[in-house]
Structure 1
């Protein structure tokens, strides 16, 4: 019969039906009641301590109700027993206090109350454990810093790096005149560790309070904890130890500016980037809300300029820190219609250095005959914004009889030596090649792996400079002497920061500087040396090497970030100051501008500089008998009182903004 059916199916062109298999096993209909109860209990436990406390309360209610029912029905209690309400009360008291049953009589009654008491001990022990665990969890959450900040007008710092301590120190100074200033720090680091490090390295916080939070600055939920909607400014530092720190910074800026819950008003963001190649993407992401501090580019340019003019790093430090004079941008209606040359002479205790035009352009040291137009903002150096005021100049403030005519100085080819190497080396070489005359030579000496190949592949800014490589141990005195350092016009000593920890790199730098000092003393000739230090704390140790200048890389970046968070135009100002195409800071002999046979006012020096198309902003006078201000300025004074008359020596310098 089966074969007949298959034959008919084959003739009909159909396939025989598959045998039916039971699939009911394992379906919801086969789930037992116990499994359902267990699953429901598991789901309720997922709610946490609240659900567990609810279950304990239910067990207590059932126990008390059952005991009260037994006592009410059997009347086995003292004095003829209790009704249900009194029995429930007696049972409740015994669940809360085991000593309550001490006066009970009758073994049946004692047995019932003993059961109730034991259940009470079990329930309340579990409840105390839950409460304790909940408190521990809450305290742990507070310790980790996961609560939302409710401050307003506060400064936010995102990410963690060694530069954060210098940033905090500068912001503390800036906040001295503010009421209840707050700084909120968020980083992927333990809150207590952050607080301990800050307490150790920034002991004097003045009136500023620091609030630390643990979180990922690229995460929108974590960012909501710092309450960016009501902040004053935001600083994004390059994160310590990150494989690609620039990507982290750009993602953080993206999260801030594109947060769906962000405020309507624009943010004031200062962000640190290591590579200038990532600047375009960061500007696209941040728009006009972000000021970029290109750390390596900034340090490289200052190292190059300081190597050509000893003491220049002190000028940049003075302009960048909050202790002393600062750069302000302000609208001054009284300057409209006045030429630049007349405007710079209108302030006795402030120094005009540039203009920000209505279209957003910044220009330092405009032409002396340029007329200031409405809508322009004055860029000015002052002790504080209250000191910015026009001051009538006395008729005899300028002594034209002592002003000297400019003398052309012919530039010649230079020989420059770089000892040591790090990722900023190629930038320094590129920047240096843009300044030197044709025929100049740069010699690079170091012992890092692949140095020769890297130097051969690096691009230069011009063909004026030839580059040579010497592979030597830069901590060895004989190897350094073989370089014949006295034959070079200037020497730069870089730290091996890419291959060593900061302290080890600075130690290697100190050894090199000590060898150079010993060589200079033995030969009786001065060697012009500019050194890059990583940690500001090592600068005092380096003073014994008597190098001409120290560029403390981390500190300069920190100062720039702190200032940019307070002044939204600062990045553009320093871009112009450090650009070869605009006006830059130069330190030139005072004797080139005025006669040195009598005291002169700075008004006179400013007038002499103005006749050359330059803006004078300060001077450097080294006097061994004068007390140092404790800031290692090397006699540099920025924004002096223009009416004070001083005597100058041939080695003194005037600090000017000039095209060349």
Structure 2
């Protein structure tokens, strides 16, 4: 019975609150009446007894009974200001006094509520970042994707203490939590968040775009696999390119385009004002270079990491009027790999560069050196006599193009990867593509984007979940020289790397059962997952977000790097390559970096370091006093002209 009464009472209270104000007010009146009646029962416990005769708060002037008890209890419950002084007044006056006291209390409550609401709105406005940014010389990041975290790490390395403003169509709390979880809030940066649409003029004014030192536009993750993607990025680019209110030269503008087929439209929208990075093109070229050069991913990881060797530009007067050969031995902790200059293009001076110039190239006074170094400035000392290696060896360089490649997974880069493979492969190379995509749909998607047929490669499309064992029943893993795992977005899973790792576990088990040991290249998004690859027999790991974000951040801070990266990652230009030691020096002899540099110069190349096969150890821009006894499995890291064989 008691339990039923409690449930009935709880139900009535719930119904009262469900009726909003009316129900809540009725509940309030009931509560006042009940509590007042309970308070009146003090009459039976000596409220007007002789022991309480001297208590001033107990009225006795009316009847020392019901009315005085009611008055005393109401005063305790309602505590209406001024109403207690109406004791003894006539009923009409008491009614007026009660009404006015209650209304006065209501008016005061409304005033407090209004002030509280206004303060809450103001706090909410500040919390949401609706106030205009008053910074000057800040880095402005427009858009939001997983690359944000790597961009921030790069900016913290390039210019510690920088102020970074992020404008994105996300909730402030979500961005703050994501940055906290990924450790970005611990970087040596001042991060200011604003929620808004980057392609809106008012929003750009709110984040002081005209006072920014550089602007970075990132492509949302969702645009990677949509043929009509990049729309928001292109709209933002059009707005920035047409901006008329720049102060002085205006900021350095850098933008990411997710899909290569949108590159032409993006270039039109940019009007020559922006540095464009096509993430699908860049990642596909890096992956294919890693397919052709096992171990190359370690070189790119160091180049694009927030710390370690990177590309820098410096003017060194002492190098003017000298050849690249003359100066190459004068840097104890840097390697000159090219030259940079400014040239007139229309009404503007544009940065230009040339990588891997001939050893006899004379450096002009107005040219800067492109250096592989830990940082700038670097020291230069004039070398003495010309260096000559006694262990130099001539040899032919053979292109490493696998004849059978297994691609696993599907994302927006598949088309670019196939085109890039076709450009480098020998005729008759076979590509097998295993993914969740329907084979006919996958074939039509690729053919829709092709403006010419693939000449050197044939593609076989297979359907199947790469995580499941049954998908490999008709695949002979021992017949492939290279297996490539892409960051698979076809399944719609939120954690793309988790799916890649599950597929890698499946492959590791299958290879153990079949004794297959092909060269394995894996694309991951988050570098934090690197440690999970231990024991899975992965040869090369490309962290695609790191590669793109490094370029975005570095070009934003050093615009001269824009043409350098374009040349380094463009078809038909120069490339970083790993080549057999036996093509440069005598196998088994004591070898220094200067020996490798000399041998590379004879081939019109530039030596960058060495990769040892026994432990996969990479020495990029090594200390000059180091010496190795290299064997035939070791590789020389060189900057050389791309080979198509």
TM-score by length of 1: 0.76
Partner of 1:603: helix, strand, or coil?
Answer: helix
Alpha carbons of structure 1 residues 353 and 367: separation in structure 2 relative to 1, 3 Å = same
Does 1:653 find its partner at 2:643?
A: no
Aligned to 2:392: 403
CA shift, 1:154, in A, is 1.6
CA shift, 1:109, in A, is 12
Aligned to 1:427: 416
CA deviations on 1:323-364 (whole Å, 9 max, x unpaired) are 112211223333222222223233121111112243343221
Query: 1:327, 1:153 → 2: CA distance?
Result: 24
CA shift, 1:204, in A, is 5.7
Query: 1:431, 1:384 → 2: CA distance?
Result: 32
Query: 1:253, 1:409 → 2: CA distance?
Result: 43
CA deviations on 1:167-212 (whole Å, 9 max, x unpaired) are 2222223333xxx421111111111221121111115624312111
CA shift, 1:157, in A, is 1.2
Alpha carbons of structure 1 residues 469 and 319: separation in structure 2 relative to 1, 3 Å = same
Aligned to 1:552: 543
8 Å Cα contact 2:133/2:207 also seen in 1: yes
Query: 1:154, 1:398 → 2: CA distance?
Result: 47
* Greater Cα offset, 529-538 or 320-329: 529-538
Structure with greater Cα Rg: 1
CA shift, 1:452, in A, is 3.6
CA deviations on 1:557-594 (whole Å, 9 max, x unpaired) are 22222222222132321221122311111101223211
Does 1:474 find its partner at 2:466?
A: yes
CA deviations on 1:587-644 (whole Å, 9 max, x unpaired) are 01223211243432211210110011001112212555xxxxxxxxx52232222343
CA deviations on 1:450-507 (whole Å, 9 max, x unpaired) are 224335555367522233333444334454363222222322222321332242x434
Select which of 230, 233, 257 maps to 1:246. Answer: 230
Partner of 1:658: helix, strand, or coil?
Answer: strand
CA deviations on 1:498-552 (whole Å, 9 max, x unpaired) are 332242x434433443343334434445211112223333332233311211112
Partner of 2:535: helix, strand, or coil?
Answer: helix
8 Å Cα contact 2:138/2:164 also seen in 1: yes
CA deviations on 1:223-281 (whole Å, 9 max, x unpaired) are 12211222222111112446754121122223234344432322212211112232233
Aligned to 2:339: 355
Alpha carbons of structure 1 residues 519 and 361: separation in structure 2 relative to 1, 3 Å = same
8 Å Cα contact 2:258/2:278 also seen in 1: yes
8 Å Cα contact 1:320/1:563 also seen in 2: no
Query: 1:286, 1:412 → 2: CA distance?
Result: 36
8 Å Cα contact 1:172/1:205 also seen in 2: no
Alpha carbons of structure 1 residues 408 and 507: separation in structure 2 relative to 1, 3 Å = closer
Select which of 392, 395, 404 maps to 1:415. Answer: 404
Aligned to 2:576: 585
8 Å Cα contact 1:441/1:467 also seen in 2: yes
8 Å Cα contact 1:617/1:655 also seen in 2: yes
TM-score by length of 2: 0.77
8 Å Cα contact 2:253/2:273 also seen in 1: yes
Query: 2:247, 2:142 → 1: CA distance?
Result: 18
Does 1:641 find its partner at 2:632?
A: no
Aligned to 1:212: 193
Partner of 1:618: helix, strand, or coil?
Answer: strand
Query: 2:118, 2:611 → 1: CA distance?
Result: 64
Select which of 567, 570, 591 maps to 1:576. Answer: 567
Aligned to 1:307: 291
8 Å Cα contact 2:305/2:546 also seen in 1: no
Aligned to 1:389: 379
Aligned residue pairs: how many?
549
Partner of 1:405: helix, strand, or coil?
Answer: coil
Select which of 182, 185, 190 maps to 2:166. Answer: 185
Select which of 477, 480, 492 maps to 1:485. Answer: 477
CA deviations on 1:417-474 (whole Å, 9 max, x unpaired) are 2222222111111001111122322232334122243355553675222333334443
Does 1:330 find its partner at 2:320?
A: no
8 Å Cα contact 1:585/1:656 also seen in 2: yes
CA shift, 1:381, in A, is 1.4
8 Å Cα contact 1:168/1:202 also seen in 2: no
Query: 1:109, 1:309 → 2: CA distance?
Result: 98
Segments of structure 2 that go 5 or more residues without pairing to the other structure are 1-79, 344-350
8 Å Cα contact 1:413/1:439 also seen in 2: no
CA shift, 1:125, in A, is 4.1
CA shift, 1:105, in A, is 13
* Matched ranges for 1:154-165 at <5 A: 154-165=138-149
Aligned to 1:321: 305
Alpha carbons of structure 1 residues 453 and 413: separation in structure 2 relative to 1, 3 Å = same
Segments of structure 1 that go 5 or more residues without pairing to the other structure are 1-96, 625-633
Alpha carbons of structure 1 residues 111 and 464: separation in structure 2 relative to 1, 3 Å = closer
Partner of 2:177: helix, strand, or coil?
Answer: helix
Query: 1:412, 1:291 → 2: CA distance?
Result: 32
CA shift, 1:103, in A, is 11
